[in-house]
Amino acid sequence: MDEQMKKIEYLSRISSPKDLREIPEDKLDALCEEIRSELVRVVSDNGGHLASNLGVVELTVALHRVFDSPHDHIIFDVGHQSYVHKMLTGRYERIDTLRQSGGLSGFQKRSESEHDCFGAGHSSTSLSAALGFATADRLSGSDAYTVAIVGDGAYTGGMIHEALNNCRKDLRLIIILNENEMSISKNIGRFATSLSKLRTSSGYFKTKRATGIFLRRIPLIGKGLFNCVKRIKMMFKNALYGSNYFESMGLTYLGPIDGNDREATEKLLAQAKRLNESVIVHVKTKKGKGYEPAESAPASYHSMTPTSVADSDQLSFSTVMGHTLAEMGTSDTRICTITAAMSDGTGLESCRAAFPERFFDVGIAEEHALTFAAGLAANGMRPCAAIYSTFLQRGYDNIIHDIALQDLPVTMLVDRAGLNAKDGATHHGIFDVAFLSHIPNISIYTPVTYRGLIASMKCAIESGKPSAIRYPAGKENAAILERFYSAENFDDIGIKRDFDGKDSPDVLIVTHGRIAIEAVRASDMLRAEGIKTGILLLEKLKPYSESAELVKKNIPDGTRALLFLEEEIRSGGAGINLCDKLADFLEAKKIRRAILAVDDNFVANTEKGRSIYESAGIDAESIKNQIISIL
């Protein structure tokens, strides 16, 4: 790091936004190049979001030169475009720890810095939060500004529009529309670009304000005349160029401008600040700016894997799911696929190619995705919605009210289930089992192999019932395959075990999902200490009455204890539900039981060198100790 710091001349001087404002104007472009160089280096090493951060370098520099963080509040949507913000707010010396255990978060995080006023890993939340900050400042008499940097993709989420509907003119609220892929409103074009040049000048606003004051002061007719002139102006403008969504909402609109032009961006932000009211600032940035591979293929550089672990083998649970669904949908024309702006991440691009008329990307709108699926199902289709576990939380009511209550054949493909070491608490898929478990009519599948995933998909879709199939990120685990699966038992959905009928384990670990690898390690440790240990691996959880019967049938005589292990939240999870179903049986057999799961916390991986399982207290050593304590 010391050698790298010598090469970085200007960025290394910045320990706060105040230091940034002291960098000479003619050195700022060099600073931006240093930031880009560091982004490419760090994200290549650690993984993370590269294209979006490269695109907001000039914008973030301009933000911290115009506004005074932390007095002014800066909120990024989504927070994964905040890496530059971290470098400029005293965290550059720790940037090598980005997304590492004990290191910097990949998102804004309140506990990490006073400059991170609001944390979020989900999209479309920024404006609601910013409106809360700005309103609190108005009520308390604070002169602070609140700035929300909102990517155009976030505008596909309904919360942004709900917040816009509640914006007041009299707030110190700057909403930056960061357009980097798609157009938003009809009048963004040649006229809007020309108009932005006029609107960025202080003379334009002085003249506009002076004219308004003059007209309103005319006795008797002034106010009416001012409103009449304003209406005529808007009618003339809308007739020629089309209406502007934001101005129709009563907000002042500035732009669009090139958001990668630092000087122009800074000038426009300063002008917006002087208006002292709620303002939309429209900037256009280029994802991957300054790094040709990311500019050419921004989607590929949205979320990168570290180069040290890059693998030419592209097979994963997501890609297997997508290819399987594409194959099934080719022969069954009832099958439709739905994604909430994550077609690449969820593996559904193969479905887009196979049957584009039945592939739907609804944008960042998980609630809509699920109720849309319910509508399709109610009218005879077999919709499959692929959504990350952490984003499925946003559609909780839709699952209950629109899918389960009506017992509709919607298959939810719950990607990225389990703990997420790199992205952290905002992306842990640890709540879906608990909140799905208490919803009637829904079946929950938990495959941990590719073949298990394929079998679960066929079973769920053919069942004609609401179903959730949850599977982890990445690839299947060879050690799990070797331990539990044989040619004879591979395609049966239900339960797998790592002992035969001749064994009589002292203790059984009942588990599901990728945490099974920790169960295998703990079992080996216990066996080395003379404690005979077996593992039951469940591939389907719900209905719990069925899975409890399978567990019961696989408990040999002589077993003294059961440990229910899961990498999800304990309260309401699989362990508690299975314990409840098995209570009378275990009591009669005098078998002790315990549950080891994520216990009432969000699992922050704050210690360097610790695995995410260790941070959650569900690693092999913790499993071993828990078992010893109940024997």
Residue 114's SS3 state is: coil
- Residue bearing the bigger pLDDT, 588 or 152: 588
pLDDT per position as a tens digit, 424-446: 888 999 999 999 999 999 999 99
What pLDDT score does 207 carry? 59
Does the structure show a pLDDT above 60 at 453? yes
Is the previous residue joined to 409 through a cis bond, with omega within 30 degrees of 0? no
Let me know whether 332 and 442 are in one domain: yes
Least reliable range by pLDDT among 97-106, 303-312, 604-613: 303-312
Q: Per the domain annotation, does 537 fall within a domain?
A: yes
Cβ contact 119:109 at 8 Å: yes
Q: What is the pLDDT of residues 236-259, one digit of tens each?
A: 544 444 457 788 788 899 988 999
Please say if 470 is a catalytic residue.
Answer: no
Residue 590 has a pLDDT of: 96
Residue 437: name the closest of 462, 400, 471 by CA: 400
DSSP state of 156: G
Residue 281 has pLDDT above 90, yes or no: yes
What are the phi and psi torsion angles at 502 (to 5°)? -80, -20
Catalytic pick from 109, 287, 416, 624? Answer: 287
Tokens of 298: 């921004």
Q: Yes or no: say if 518 and 482 are a contact pair by the CB < 8 Å rule.
A: no
pLDDT, position 609: 81
Contact 341, 349 (CB under 8 A): no
Q: Are residues 33 and 177 in the same domain?
A: yes
Residues 105 and 10 in one domain: yes
Residue 506 sits in the same domain as residue 428: no
Does residue 427 sit in the same domain as residue 544? no
**Do 381 and 233 share a domain, yes or no?**
no
Residues 283 and 403 in one domain: no
- Looking at residues 164-177, what average pLDDT do you find? 93
Express as a percent the part of the chain with pLDDT over 70. Answer: 88
Greater pLDDT, 233 or 482 = 482
In CATH, what number is assigned to the domain containing residue 394? 3.40.50.970
Tell me which of 79-83, 306-310, 401-405, 534-538 is least confident: 306-310
Q: What average pLDDT does the segment 597-603 reach?
A: 92
Q: How far lies 146's CA from each of 137, 324, 588, in Å?
A: 9, 47, 62
Give the residue from 176, 160, 170 showing the smallest Cα distance to 137.
170
Highest mean pLDDT among 118-122, 166-170, 572-576: 572-576
157 or 19, higher pLDDT: 19
In the structure encoding, which two tokens stand for residue 621, read together? 């050593």
- Three-state SS for 592? strand
Domain assignment present for 500: yes
* Contact (Cβ atoms closer than 8 angstroms) between residue 69 and residue 144: no
Query: Which helix (H) or strand (E) element contains residue 384?
Result: strand 382-388
Dihedral of the CA atoms 250, 255, 256, 257 (nearest 10)? -160
Q: Residues 179, 266, 366, 566: which is the catalytic one?
A: 366
> Is 366 known to be catalytic?
yes
Question: Cis link prior to 256 (omega < 30° from 0)?
Answer: yes
Residue 129: inside a domain: yes
Catalytic residue among 394, 416, 470, 593: 394
Report the pLDDT value the prediction gives residue 105, as an integer from 0 to 100.
87
pLDDT tens figures, 376-386: 999 999 999 99
Kindly state the helix (H) or strand (E) to which residue 579 belongs, with its residue range.
Answer: helix 574-588
156 near 83, Cβ under 8 Å?
no
- Domains held by the chain: number: 4
Tell me which residue range forms the domain holding 221. 202-242
Q: Is residue 291, in this structure, part of any structural domain at all?
A: yes
Residues 6+ apart with CB under 8 A from 39: 50, 53, 54, 57, 83, 84
**Has residue 75 got a pLDDT over 90?**
yes
DSSP 600: S
The pLDDT, as a whole number, for residue 193 is 46
Reduce the DSSP state of residue 595 to 3 states and report it. Answer: strand
The pTM for the full model equals: 0.82
C-beta neighbour count of 445 within 10 angstroms = 26
For all residues of the chain together, what is the average pLDDT?
Answer: 88
The answer to whether residue 394 is catalytic is: yes
Query: Is residue 16 over pLDDT 50?
Result: yes
- Shared domain for 210 and 178, answered yes or no, is no
> Looking at residue 535, which CATH number applies to its domain?
3.40.50.920
* 461 & 321 share domain: yes
- Structural domain contains residue 308: no
**Same-domain status, 357 and 449:** yes
pLDDT of residue 152 exceeding 70: yes
In this structure, are 369 and 289 located in the same domain?
no
Number of residues in the chain: 631
Does residue 483 lie within any of the structural domains?
no
In a domain? residue 253: yes
> Tokens 């699966």 appear where?
485
Highest mean pLDDT among 179-183, 201-205, 251-255, 487-491 belongs to 251-255
- 92 and 12 housed in the same domain: yes
Answer whether residue 37 shows pLDDT above 60. yes
Q: With respect to residue 195, please indicate whether it lies within any of the assigned structural domains.
A: no
